[in-house]
Amino acid sequence: MKLNLGNFLAIGLVSFLLGCSSIRARHTTSPTEWTVYPGVRRDVQDMAELLRRQEPLWVKGLATGILLVDLPCSAVFDTLVAPYDWYRLYAAKKQAEAP
């Protein structure tokens, strides 16, 4: 089977772009508020916030659709980096307990 570099790069680019909630959540969460699966939590929070705002229906539909497509990708990415998340939780707890 011949490897098609164009298809491989396209899949990689789409995968990178669709995990953006996980990456964004990791950059904006402070160490004291760190949780496991922050990207999935961010997707759900963004959808809830979007539905509360007074936006045109097409904007809500488009943004919710993008977040729904991003949700499984964020879940996969968050699962892959879960050991790092647990380490951060453990390190923050140890730092808070230190005198």
Summarised one tens digit per residue, pLDDT across range 3-56 is 677 776 766 666 656 667 888 888 887 777 778 888 899 889 988 998 898 888
Would you say residue 1 has pLDDT above 60? no
Tell me the Ramachandran region of residue 29: left when phi exceeds 0, alpha when psi lies from -120 to 50, beta otherwise. Answer: beta
Which tens digit of pLDDT belongs to each residue from 81-99?
899 888 888 887 777 776 6
pLDDT of residue 48: 92
DSSP letter (8 states) at residue 50: H
Task: Look up the pTM and report it.
Answer: 0.71
Tell me the Ramachandran region of residue 91: left when phi exceeds 0, alpha when psi lies from -120 to 50, beta otherwise. Answer: alpha
Q: Which amino acid appears at position 63 of this protein?
A: A
Helices (H), the chain: 5-18, 20-28, 38-52, 57-80, 82-97
Angle between helices 57-80 and 38-52 (to 10 degrees): 170
- Whose structure tokens read 């007074």? 54
Domain count, the chain: 1
**Which residue range forms the structural domain that includes residue 90?**
5-97
Which has more confidence, 68 or 1?
A: 68
